[in-house]
Chain A
């Protein structure tokens, strides 16, 4: 086994599981056209917010950190945008920019606390989750419908695929974010620094890598991604401050199922796409079945998560044995 193959084994396993799952679901529900282009497109559209968040989460996990605040930050920008546009009649473009800026600043602030005060990432981001969720409820506890022209125009933008009409904008946003994340993670110095910090922060520091800036930047990026996901969810379903409860767990599951090591330092952005496809396929299959209840999504996701963590552990043990 050459080393590149061994390094990419988790992603290959994920790809295999995805193909198996998709083929099985396609065969099981073939009379309702599971494996059709509109269904695949809807899989991307329906889970776009999760995907956008998972890209940011992948970067954070590369660096050995974790961000539990993403769901709450998404809820905050979701309701923030809805309230400002609908109740105060502000310019939607301005609101979008402000939301993204808030998400970025919030992430950067958490990153600074984590780096400068050497606090555990999960604790700071847990507090951030409380804070952002409380702020979201503070904006409004009612759900708000969007009547703004620009938002309506964007959300009613349609495309035809396989004879069905779909609203593809969330999927476009996700794909753009994914492409951006892919280039950033796999083809820039920043991405390499992230993996180096996740592998061993002390060594990264001794190598002269900009550890502090990179860590703060990655939480800022993750916050921006969460804010963007919140805006997309406003576009799709209007303002709702209870949006995204548990979304951070789904995002972490997506990343881990995608073969990224939760301790950091190893992973691939395309793995996250595969993890996203697996979770999307499970959800879609449960919807198509109709007799299976929604909670099976959580249980199966948990089981897959467990399987992958154990698998990674075994893999790591095998590679460690190989070393002298």
Chain B
């Protein structure tokens, strides 16, 4: 590229969610000094920012998979239900006294299978993504209930609960795991042609196929990756609360994941994705949630400002608004 590197960095879509994040942090700083305070308790760091990273890790990992799916021009509505199935399977196996390794493999395997079902329905049977993943969204919670027999299952295994509650270098383990996943994904996608393949399949499927790209396989694999991410999220969530609840695990999480991706500057029309943007988008969403908890907004009411924010962001990204603003600036300069 002939453009200087700093210019392309300035144009990065990841800048917008980062700016939003900083703005929200400043607002918090203005209202409460405690927001940025970081204290050490029992050798662990404690503070609002640590909470954001820890509680946001589930949304972060879901958003990672969702970014890939949205980049192919699709959507996966089933991630919340997949989380519930994986949590139910893991908890039930743990209760039966199976080893941790088997539980983790089984959990990830279930996620992979769910992703594969979605992927095959979309790439092979050529069903619209919203519709195809709706099937698993509807039946997933039923399957999770079937696995646990309709009950909540408590998780006592300390090794398993360490995943969601443990600490590494004084920091909570889940965000570290998730950040490593992001780095691995970035290396795997951006340092090889895989990321480009995904974007090509999302941008123009026919053209990519004629160019010799196995678009169906690329799309299918994106859903498999999304299923795996949902499985990781399900394992983290259930080990965090030491419980698997088929009706409540991952409820509405698909929305948070989609919102995080959109906030991160990945357009829903597909063809382009930005992992760093998604990372900041998910953090922004979680910061918003934590801010509301901080200001004693009831947790049930928290979706209202979230919904307003997402509509505003979508409207800002829409062409109609850009045309209005474009007209505005032209008039101002004329």
Contact = CB atoms under 8 A, between A and B. Distances in A.
Interface of A: 66, 113, 116-120, 122-124, 126-131, 133-135, 137-138, 141, 241, 246, 249-250, 252-253, 256, 262-263, 293-299, 301-303, 305-306, 309-310, 313
Contacts of B308: 131
11 contacts: A117-B321, A123-B314, A124-B314, A127-B307, A130-B303, A130-B304, A133-B303, A295-B143, A295-B146, A299-B139, A310-B127
Interface string B114-138: 0000000100011110111011111
Nearest to A252: B134
Nearest to B319: A118
B315 A117 contact: yes
Given A141-B300, A252-B134, A293-B150, 7 more contacts: A119-B318, A130-B303, A253-B138, A295-B150, A309-B132, A310-B127, A313-B125
A122 to B, nearest CB: 6
Contacts of B315: 113, 117, 119
Contacts of A293: 145-146, 150
Contacts of B141: 246, 295, 298
Interface string B276-319: 00000000000000000000001011111011101100110011
Given A117-B314, A118-B319, A313-B126, A249 B268 contact: no
Q: Which 5 A-B pairs have the closest CB atoms?
A: A302-B139, A298-B142, A137-B300, A134-B304, A295-B145
A135 B308 CA distance: 12
Interface string B202-243: 000000000000000000000000000000000000000000
A295 B139 CA distance: 9
Interface residues on B, range: 35 or more
A309 B314 contact: no
Contacts of B127: 309-310, 313
Contacts of B135: 302, 305-306, 309
A66 B302 CA distance: 24
Contacts of B96: none
Nearest to A312: B127
A301 to B, nearest CB: 6
A131 B303 contact: yes
A305 B132 CA distance: 9
A138 B279 CA distance: 30
B128 A134 contact: no
Contacts of A301: 138-139
Main secondary structure of the interface of B (DSSP, over half): helix
A306 B118 CA distance: 11
A135 B318 contact: no
Contact of B307 (A134, A137, A263): A134
Contacts of B306: 130, 134
Interface in B80-133: 121, 125-128, 130-132
Contacts of A131: 303-304, 307-308
B62 interface: no
B268 A123 contact: yes
Contacts of B66: none
B320 A117 contact: yes
B75 interface: yes
A126 B139 contact: no
B143 A263 contact: no
A129 B246 CA distance: 21
Contacts of A122: 75, 130
Contact of A299 (B128, B143, B302, B303): B143
Contact of B134 (A123, A141, A241, A249): A249
A138 B301 contact: yes
A305 B304 contact: no
B258 interface: yes
B196 interface: no
**Max chain A Cβ within 10 angstroms of own Cβ: one of B150, B298, B303, B310:** B303
B46 interface: no
B74 to A, nearest CB: 12
Nearest to B318: A117
A309 B307 CA distance: 30
A28 B262 CA distance: 50
Contacts of A116: 320
B129 to A, nearest CB: 10
Given A137-B301, A138-B301, A118 B318 contact: yes
A129 B126 CA distance: 28
Contacts of A127: 307, 310-311, 314
B139 A303 contact: yes
B216 to A, nearest CB: 15
A219 B206 CA distance: 33
A303 B136 CA distance: 9
B189 interface: no
B255 interface: yes
A249 B138 contact: yes
B300 A123 contact: no
